[in-house]
Amino acid sequence: MIGDRLIVPINNTSSTGSLAVLVTAELARLTSRDKLICELLAVHHTLTTDQLAEVVFGSLGRARNRLAELHRRGILDRFRHYHRPGTQSWRWTLGPVGAAIRAAAGGEAFPRPATVRAATARLAASPHLDHLIGTNGFFTALHAHARAHPGTRVVRWWSEATCRTATGGAVRPDALGVWADGRRRVPFWLEYDTGTETVARVAAKLSGYAQLAGSPWAALSVLVFTSGGARRETALHAALARAASGTTLNVATATADAGGPAGPVWRRIGHGDRVALADLPAAPVPADDGPDAPP
């Protein structure tokens, strides 16, 4: 179907032998910002041009220019779907050289270029792609807010895989975050809702979080952020209120239509007015060996 046509540019990096030469050369050329981009993509799989601009550049023009250069050098790959009208923003991933640089830093064997590109193709065709981009966009929006509001920042941004490892698989949130406003720290689990799951299924996820009672993770709020609009949020809020009854969980809902996630968009279960992310319950940040968010 032409509406779903995929555009995946291919560069000329083709052999593991040539990668070793390129990696050695690139290590002398990569800036700290380039390395941060590679780290973000290694952990979070894909980010759009706009999202990388929010986190790393602060300017869409600078982002486009530098990302295009990194793509030309094989550090990054990119894809997008045919979109009409207009043009869809590029989705960026690690390219063969970028993946090899990450492997070298970890003392691992270089992945074959064909393997890296196959992973990009699978991601591009994944039915979960929009959910992943939405989840990542939640955090890049927080980074954008922090750029404009000194004193606020994203202290931690974990992927689903990191959350699963840290909790031993007890819960499977889409992400974990810690938002700072001055000295106040608000840690939270994120459930990003695109409307593809039933309301009952989303609410049932609270049982897993309730089982964390007594652990260092119990104080984290559970945030359900939906892209499905106000009616969807209303239904989710009611179902989550029933599911949270009898627990000590702090649960809040918001819809993307109401504004950015840092603002006064959060409706806490058992409370009235909407509040900003920084006004949700503060709690100690559990000590762990997981990664912090980029500066």
What pTM was estimated for this model as a whole?
A: 0.91
Q: What is the spatial order of strands in the sheet that 175-181 belongs to? A: 152-158, 175-181, 184-193, 221-226, 251-255, 267-268
**Calpha distance 96→15 (Å, rounded):** 9
Joined together, the tokens standing for residue 172 give 């499977």
3-state secondary structure of 150: coil
183 strand-pairing partners: none
181 strand-pairing partners: 152, 184
- Specify the CATH number for 2-126; select among 1.10.3720.10, 3.90.950.20, 3.40.50.620, 1.10.10.10: 1.10.10.10
Question: 130-279 architecture in CATH?
Answer: 3-Layer(aba) Sandwich (3.40)
Q: Are 252 and 154 in contact (CB under 8 A)?
A: no
Q: Are 154 and 146 in contact (CB under 8 A)?
A: yes
Helices (H) and strands (E) in the chain, counts: 11, 10
Residues 6+ positions from 211 with CB-CB distance below 8 Å? 170, 171
> So where are the chain's domains?
2-126, 130-279
- Report the 10 Å Cβ neighbour count for 19: 25
Q: What is the pLDDT along the chain (295 residues), one digit of tens a residue?
A: 334 455 555 455 555 567 788 888 999 999 999 999 999 999 999 999 999 999 999 899 999 999 999 999 999 999 999 877 767 899 999 999 999 999 999 999 999 999 999 999 999 999 999 999 999 999 999 999 999 999 999 999 999 999 999 998 999 999 999 999 999 999 999 999 999 999 999 999 999 999 999 898 999 999 999 999 999 999 999 999 999 999 999 999 999 999 899 999 999 999 989 999 999 999 987 765 555 555 4
- Go through the chain and tell me how many residues it has: 295
